[in-house]
Amino acid sequence: MSILNDDLSSIDIPIVDLELLQKGDQAQLEALAHSLSHLGLVHIKNHLIEQETLDQFYDSFDRFCRQPTEDKQPLSLDEIWFQRGWTPPDTERAVIAGGQPDFKECYFIAPEPIDAALRAEYPQIFAENVWPRFQEEALFKESYLQVGHRLHEIGIELLGGISRALGLAEHTFAQFVSGGAHVTRALHYLPLDESQVGSEIRWGEEHTDFNLLTLLPGGRFYYDDGAPYTPKGISGLYLRARADREHPQGRRIRGSAPRGCIIAQVGQQLEILTGGKLLATPHEVLPPHEAGVHRTSMAHFIHAHPHQILTPLAQFKSVEATRAYSPPVLAGNYSLKTLVDIGLAPSEELNKLGYRHYRRLEEQRAVKQGD
Ligand SMILES: [Fe+2]
């Protein structure tokens, strides 16, 4: 069912003060746990990301996107499943929403240092960064790394608060993600033409994130000439709250954060670890009912270390949780499977998860006696 036909619930998403949270403020801890459990996301203030740095990045990213396709094409790296560099439009697909391609182009980087041993095991999700050659390369790179790094720090600080709010040792989740294939993604949602306005085209089809925690610093809408567009009516980020008896499909809620706040959103890995106590939020990004409007935004995805096993932690391991989240999966392999599902990795990659020695045995048996 399309969200465009639904009544949107007017639920206030709690705003958590990161500074107070770090001091162990009880009200912040309670708001965090309640919101991540029922809505799967929360708004964060006092996060120390300068609006100016974010604006600088969005300006340079917009100019990168305006480069001719033939200049961007060498940065489209299907051999590393687009995990670094440019992802062209129509590449990624949502699994549940009918496999529709999203109406966007993206750029991926890793803002944190990467362990070479993990790159040998998972070359695609731990690939080196690549950077575009254009006039603003230095600004693009510097501002992108700066915002990505700070988003990561915020995520780790929040994971400390989430651990405490759930009665776990403070470093429980931070240790779980240490060394993970964290990735920051800049997104450019493409303008619709007149014939596409009001159609079923989504900027981002409804899905849940497959990582552990996602940080979204808020994007901006603008016309082709760069003039800002003020969203009217339904457009931007919408989420689906946890289903209950009264709302079996889950209430649809506008997710966009107030200016100056960022969004923190639960991903599948955190839902699994908490046995479903926290909710991986289904969300979608809708275009406005107006032609010629662009949107840029950004997301940082924090992942479990690839060797961690995704199964409910002991504190959350009920019979129902075990049944719901079985079988346990190695986090790196969970990423591989999902990247195949959404069309970024080739399906043959799944064969690497099975028994590897068939070919060797076949070759040995094919050797003729006396050779
Ligand atoms: Fe998402």
In the chain, what are the domains? 3-366 (2.60.120.330)
Task: Supply 1's token pair.
Answer: 């069912």
CA 1 to chain CA centroid, Å, is 23
Those residues whose beta carbon sits under 5 angstroms from the ion ligand 1 are 209
Distance 315 CA to ligand 1 centre (A): 27
Distance 283 CA to ligand 1 centre (A): 7
The closest alpha carbon to 288, from 188, 199, 208, belongs to 199
pLDDT in single tens digits along all 371 residues of the chain: 444 444 455 578 999 999 999 999 999 999 999 999 999 999 999 999 999 999 999 999 999 999 999 999 999 999 999 999 999 987 766 555 555 557 899 999 999 999 999 999 999 999 999 999 988 899 999 999 999 999 999 999 999 999 999 999 999 999 999 999 999 999 999 999 998 888 878 888 889 999 999 999 989 999 999 999 988 878 889 999 898 898 899 888 888 888 899 999 999 999 999 999 999 999 999 999 999 999 999 999 999 999 999 999 999 999 999 999 999 999 999 999 999 998 889 999 998 887 777 778 888 899 987 65
For residue 42, how far is its CA from the centre of ligand 1 (angstroms)? Answer: 14
How many A from CA of 266 to the centre of ligand 1?
Answer: 10
How far is the centre of ligand 1, averaged over its atoms, from the C-alpha of 250 (Å)? 17
Between the CA of 197 and the centroid of ligand 1 the distance, in Å, is 22
CA 59 centroid distance within chain:
22
CA of 207 to the centre of ligand 1 (A): 6
H runs (alpha helix) in the chain: 18-22, 26-38, 51-65, 69-72, 116-121, 137-165, 172-177, 268-273, 319-324, 331-341, 358-366
Among residues 301, 265, 284, the alpha carbon closest in space to that of 109 is found at 301
Distance 364 CA to ligand 1 centre (A): 47
Task: Give the distance (Å) from ligand 1 centre to CA of residue 358.
Answer: 38
Q: Enumerate the β-bridge partners of residue 41.
A: 265
The whole-model pTM stands at 0.92
**Ligand 1 center to residue 28 CA distance, Å?**
25
Q: 340 CA to middle of ligand 1, Å?
A: 16
Beta strand segments in 190-344, E: 204-207, 213-216, 220-223, 236-240, 252-254, 262-266, 283-286, 293-302, 309-310, 329-330
Residue 78 to residue 101: CA distance in whole angstroms: 16
State in Å, rounded, how far the first CA of the chain is from the last one: 66
Gap from CA of 12 to ligand 1 centroid (Å)? 20
Which residue, among 10, 18, 16, 47, has the nearest Cα to 30 in the 3D structure? 16
What is the whole-number distance in angstroms between the Cα of residue 208 and the centre of ligand 1?
6
